[in-house]
């Protein structure tokens, strides 16, 4: 959608709502647009609650993030985005309520990406080259059209940042230390060229696999830890790790996501939420869940 159309569209919708005295309005953003979020403020100021699966508003600069929340508070409106992390899994609301109710969250760790979950689960279990498993994931539509968007770790990094900000940490995307799985030589060029050269990844990943301790498997995880009671005390890391096969992270199957939430009063036993963390159907249901939450309030 071109900017003028977007501008016109939102202004028209607001005008229509006003002219017809509509109440209990909800604006739903299921785009991935970095542009459309600029309309959020106008929508909130004109009586709309917000629901979005779009992660951009929560991962752009912290100034926008806090300004939007200020606008929401001033207008007594809500912004729900449960599907930003873990699709239909009840993750953000759980973390939000734990945090609001005064529970000290000390660590959040997990497999945040359905596509990378599938990739490393299959690669760890099966005796096949990395490129073959990756090609299969691409063919099944588990990855983004350009699989480098998954393999770069940026998507996992964005999800980690969203969780960190739920805990009132003042972090920016640049603070996330991301282990990019794409070697420099394959980072540029078009998708077809990248897919033709997938075989060049095999030696590296075979090495990672072989160098593990016995009964260990590879997992690409996001981890938030450090002093989470201080605005800038959190460490945000996205990385490939080797974990015991019989640990919770090691047990994850298929394209499931898993989130371990450690808190002061739960101690060493985390609260664990696990399940299908990606996919259109699951995300659509999650968006609908957010709408139901808002509707119940009226």
Q: Which residue has the tokens 């709408």?
A: 291
Q: Applying CB under 8 A, which of residues 18, 70, 128, 285 lies at the interface with a copy of itself?
A: 285
Cα(286)–Cα(136) distance, integer angstroms: 27
Query: Site size for a copy of itself, by CB under 8 A?
Result: 37
Q: Applying CB under 8 A, which of residues 100, 207, 210, 215 lies at the interface with a copy of itself?
A: 100
Cα(8)–Cα(50) distance, integer angstroms: 19
51 forms part of the interface with a copy of itself (CB under 8 A) = no
Cα(236)–Cα(149) distance, integer angstroms: 19
Q: Applying CB under 8 A, which of residues 6, 38, 45, 93 lies at the interface with a copy of itself?
A: 93
Q: Applying CB under 8 A, which of residues 98, 138, 181, 241 lies at the interface with a copy of itself?
A: 98
293 forms part of the interface with a copy of itself (CB under 8 A) = yes
Q: Applying CB under 8 A, which of residues 64, 173, 208, 288 lies at the interface with a copy of itself?
A: 288
Sheet containing 79-80: order of strands: 25-29, 48-52, 79-80
Q: Applying CB under 8 A, which of residues 8, 189, 233, 254 lies at the interface with a copy of itself?
A: 254
107 forms part of the interface with a copy of itself (CB under 8 A) = no
Q: Is residue 73 exposed (0-12), middle (13-18) or buried (19+ Cβ within 10 Å)?
A: exposed
Of 140 and 285, which CB lies nearer to a copy of itself in the complex structure? 285
Q: Catalogue the E-assigned strands of the chain.
A: 25-29, 48-52, 79-80, 105-111, 176-178, 216-226, 234-244, 256-263, 271-276
271 forms part of the interface with a copy of itself (CB under 8 A) = yes
Q: Are 66 and 171 in contact (CB under 8 A)?
A: no
292 forms part of the interface with a copy of itself (CB under 8 A) = yes
- Residue 210 falls in the annotated catalytic set: no
Of 25 and 248, which CB lies nearer to a copy of itself in the complex structure? 248
273 forms part of the interface with a copy of itself (CB under 8 A) = yes
Length of the chain: 298
**Residue 188 gets which letter from DSSP?**
S
The radius of gyration computed from the CA coordinates of the chain, to the nearest angstrom, equals: 20
Of 187 and 272, which CB lies nearer to a copy of itself in the complex structure? 272
Output the smallest distance, CB 88 to a copy of itself, in A.
8
Output the smallest distance, CB 264 to a copy of itself, in A.
10
Active-site residue among 39, 55, 77, 159?
159
70 forms part of the interface with a copy of itself (CB under 8 A) = no
Helices (H), 188-250: 191-196, 202-210
Q: Applying CB under 8 A, which of residues 7, 94, 177, 242 lies at the interface with a copy of itself?
A: 94
Calculate the CA dihedral of residues 68, 60, 169, 171 and round it to 10 degrees: -150
Residue 178 forms beta bridges with which residues? 238
Q: Applying CB under 8 A, which of residues 163, 176, 198, 276 lies at the interface with a copy of itself?
A: 276
- The distance from CA 139 to its chain's CA centroid, rounded to whole angstroms, is 22
Output the smallest distance, CB 23 to a copy of itself, in A.
16
Would you name the residues annotated as active-site residues?
159
Q: Provide the binding-site residues for a copy of itself, judged by CB under 8 A.
A: 78, 88-90, 93-94, 97-98, 100-103, 246, 248, 251, 253-254, 256, 265-266, 269-276, 281-282, 285, 288-289, 292-293, 296-297
């Amino acid at each position: 959608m071109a900017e003028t159309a977007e501008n016109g569209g939102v202004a028209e919708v607001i005008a229509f709502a006003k002219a017809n005295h509509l109440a209990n309005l909800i604006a739903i953003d299921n785009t991935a647009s970095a542009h459309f979020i600029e309309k959020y403020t106008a929508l909130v100021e004109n009586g709309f609650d917000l629901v979005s699966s779009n992660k951009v508003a929560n991962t752009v600069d912290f100034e926008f993030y806090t300004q939007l929340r200020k606008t929401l508070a001033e207008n007594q409106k809500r912004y729900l985005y449960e599907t930003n992390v873990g699709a239909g899994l009840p993750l953000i609301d759980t973390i939000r309520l734990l945090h609001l109710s005064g529970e000290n969250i000390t660590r959040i760790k997990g497999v945040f990406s359905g596509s990378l979950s599938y990739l490393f689960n299959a690669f760890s279990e099966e005796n096949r080259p990395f490129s073959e498993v990756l090609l299969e994931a691409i063919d099944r539509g588990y990855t983004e059209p350009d699989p480098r968007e998954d393999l770069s770790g940026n998507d996992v990094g964005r999800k980690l940042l969203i969780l960190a900000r739920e805990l009132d940490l003042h972090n920016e995307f640049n603070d996330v230390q991301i282990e990019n799985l794409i070697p420099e030589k394959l980072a540029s060029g078009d998708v077809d060229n990248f897919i033709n050269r997938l075989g060049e990844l095999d030696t590296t990943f075979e090495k990672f696999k072989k160098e593990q301790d016995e009964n260990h498997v590879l997992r690409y995880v996001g981890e938030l830890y450090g002093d989470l009671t201080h605005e800038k005390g959190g460490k945000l890391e996205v990385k490939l790790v080797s974990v015991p096969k019989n640990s919770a992270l090691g047990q994850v199957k298929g394209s499931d996501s898993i989130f371990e939430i450690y808190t002061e009063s739960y101690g060493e036993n985390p609260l664990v939420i696990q399940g299908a963390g990606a996919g259109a159907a699951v995300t659509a249901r999650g968006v609908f869940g957010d709408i139901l939450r808002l509707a119940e309030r009226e």
